[in-house]
């Protein structure tokens, strides 16, 4: 083998574990209780919401929370979005399923695809739940990490992982490169179509027994 090629392969072999280690999230605490994906997401209105200001890469955004939010679910699909202004603050989406949607026999027979910050699904005849049930027990979540550790945690999460996300449902307004921008979250889990995705400002993530804040 060419000596230069051998050196290159060795460098790559060392660099990949180092990259994964550097980008691995740091657990804040442990919780050995099991993740219950059969409970509905919890949403509580805020009496005194506090805006979050984000200025990055030409984006000046006001993030306005309107409800506390907690969801325990299975990740049906995960997709990163590197383009456009929304991706500056929300680098990825989770398509999440709970209730009977989260049962392993249903998860493997529901095919979820994500594109253009939407999600779509198809399901096999083996699935015993209705299309309406799937629509009201699954949702696409635009993830806004509250800090870098949470960003690492959501990027570390994998398809079909059980996950608990806590934070706030938010609306966004502001400017990007001198143009006005607006992004509004869904307020309910029962809507479909345009505007039915949740925009979630995440302050806590649980994966396995680890909690990341």
Give percent of the chain with pLDDT exceeding 90. 84
Write down the pLDDT at residue 93: 98
Read off the pLDDT of residues 2-44 as tens digits, 9 standing for 90 and up: 666 555 544 454 444 444 446 799 999 999 999 999 999 999 9
| pLDDT the model gives residue 151 | 98
Q: What is the mean pLDDT of the chain?
A: 92
**Which one is predicted more confidently, 193 or 152?**
152
Cβ–Cβ under 8 Å, residues 172 and 182: yes
User: What mean pLDDT is predicted for residues 41-67?
Assistant: 96
Strands 198-207 and 110-115, bridge-based pairing: unpaired
pLDDT score at 10 = 47
Please tell me the predicted confidence (pLDDT) of residue 7. 55
Position 22 scores a pLDDT of 64
Strands 138-145 and 198-207: parallel
At 124-147, the pLDDT tens digits run 988 989 999 999 999 999 999 999
Residue 19: what pLDDT? 42
The whole-number pLDDT of residue 105 equals: 95
Q: Which pLDDT value is given to residue 5?
A: 53
Q: What is the pLDDT of residues 72-126, one digit of tens each?
A: 999 999 999 998 899 999 999 999 999 999 999 999 999 999 999 999 999 998 8
Q: What residues have CB less than 8 Å from 129, skipping those under 6 apart? A: 100, 101, 106, 137
Look at residue 83 in the predicted model and tell me its pLDDT. Answer: 81
Residue among 119, 141, 115 at smallest CA distance from 198: 141
Gap between the Cα atoms of 82 and 59, Å rounded: 15
d(CA 53, CA 175): 12
Q: How many Cα atoms sit within 13 Å of 100 on the Cβ side? A: 10
């Amino acid at each position: 083998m060419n000596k230069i090629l051998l050196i290159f392969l060795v460098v790559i072999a060392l660099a990949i574990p180092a990259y994964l280690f550097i980008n691995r999230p740091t657990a804040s605490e442990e919780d050995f209780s099991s993740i219950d994906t059969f409970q509905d997401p919890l949403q509580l209105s805020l009496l005194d919401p506090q805006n979050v200001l984000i200025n990055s890469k030409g984006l000046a955004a006001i993030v306005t929370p309107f409800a506390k939010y907690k969801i325990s679910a299975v990740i049906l699909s995960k997709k990163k979005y590197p383009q456009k202004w929304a991706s500056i603050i929300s680098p990825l989406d989770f398509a999440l399923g709970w209730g009977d949607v989260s049962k392993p026999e249903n998860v493997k027979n529901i095919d979820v695809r994500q594109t253009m910050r939407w999600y779509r699904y198809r399901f096999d005849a083996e699935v015993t739940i209705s299309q309406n049930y799937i629509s009201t027990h699954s949702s696409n979540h635009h993830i806004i990490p509250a800090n870098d550790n949470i960003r690492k945690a959501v990027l570390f999460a994998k398809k079909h992982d059980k996950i608990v996300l806590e934070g706030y449902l938010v609306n966004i307004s502001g400017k990007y490169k001198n143009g006005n921008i607006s992004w509004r979250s869904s307020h309910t889990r029962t809507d479909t179509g345009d505007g039915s995705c949740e925009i979630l400002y995440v302050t806590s993530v649980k994966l396995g027994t680890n909690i990341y804040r």
